[in-house]
Amino acid sequence: MVAREDSVETAVRQVYDAHFGRLVGWATPLLSDRDLAHDLATEAFVKLLRHWESVDDPRAWLYTTVANQVRDHWRRRGREAAAYGRWSGGRIDPEPVAPATDHATRLTVRDAVESLPERLRLPVLLHYYADLTVAQVATQLGKSDGAVKRDLFDARKQLAARLEGT
């Protein structure tokens, strides 16, 4: 039992050495928070250790796990912002506000993906930004290749218009 655990740790450590750093770097622009990206990547590796026996494609699995967490984070932040807007009800302190990012001159990956409908976000993140193949994305999301291609087609149409606008 201990020997098996050791061999799993050894295998996952190799994946960690190969992919952890890039996974954090990949998630950071999506979250605008390096520390949070670090934590989500760490959590993904904790899960990978637990589920190692059932994971066929560790890199694709890790990026999918983190992409799911990023999507959940976006949802939470959206709800939080809406709730807080209602809650503070005009009682905002007159404190200095940091200048906003100039989105007109540089569209971020986060802006681009968040502009898409919910169902298209993961396929785009995984295929275009994480560089997974359509087949890998389909496997990870439990969809057919055709369904993923359709999602990417739809996303491409919407994003192309937005990219032209910037």
Partner 1 sequence: MTPDRRGPAYDDDPVAHFFAEHRAAVREEPATDLTWQRVVHSRRPRRSHHRLRSFLAASAAAAVAVFGVWSWQQHPFGTGGVRPGQQISGSADYAASVASGPSNSTQVPGPVPSSFASWSVSNAGNGTLYDLGSAVCGQQVCPTLLRSADNGSTWRSVHTFAGTDTSQAVGSARPLIQPNRAVTEVRFATPQIGYAFGGALWVTSDGGASFQQVDHPGQAVLGLEVSRNQVMVLSADDCSAGVCRGPIYLSRTTPQAGSAALTTIASADVGTPLRGALLAVQDGVTVVSPIPQKAGTPIPPLVPAPDGNLDTIPSPQGCGTAPLESIALASNVSRLMWGLCAVSSTATTTTYSVLRSTDAGNRWSVAGNRTLTMPRLGRVTLAAADQAHLVATAGGPRSGSATGASSAGALVVSANGGRSFAPPTSAAPVPSSGFDWSASPGSSEFYAVPRTTAGYWWSTDRGRTWKVVDPTS
- Examine residue 96 and tell whether it contacts partner 1 (CB under 8 A): yes
CA of 3: how far to CAs of 12, 52, 59, 79, 109, in Å?
14, 15, 24, 46, 43
Question: Cβ of residue 62: shortest distance to partner 1, in angstroms?
Answer: 12
Chain residues 134-163 in contact with partner 1, contact rule CB under 8 A? 134-135, 145, 152, 155-156, 159-160, 163
Structure token pair of residue 3: 């020997």
Question: Cβ of residue 54: shortest distance to partner 1, in angstroms?
Answer: 15
Question: Cβ of residue 9: shortest distance to partner 1, in angstroms?
Answer: 6
- Using DSSP's 3-state secondary structure scheme, residue 24 falls into helix
* Of residues 104, 97, 43, 102, the one with CA closest to residue 70: 43
> Cα(82)–Cα(120) distance, rounded to whole angstroms?
23
Please answer whether residues 28 and 37 qualify as being in contact, where contact means their C-beta atoms are separated by less than 8 angstroms. Answer: yes
Question: Cβ of residue 107: shortest distance to partner 1, in angstroms?
Answer: 8
Q: Under the rule (CB under 8 A), what is the footprint of partner 1?
A: 9, 12-13, 16-17, 20-22, 24-26, 28-29, 34-35, 38-39, 42-43, 45-46, 49-50, 72-73, 76-77, 79-80, 82-84, 87-88, 91-93, 95-98, 107-109, 112, 124, 127-131, 133-135, 145, 152, 155-156, 159-160, 163-164
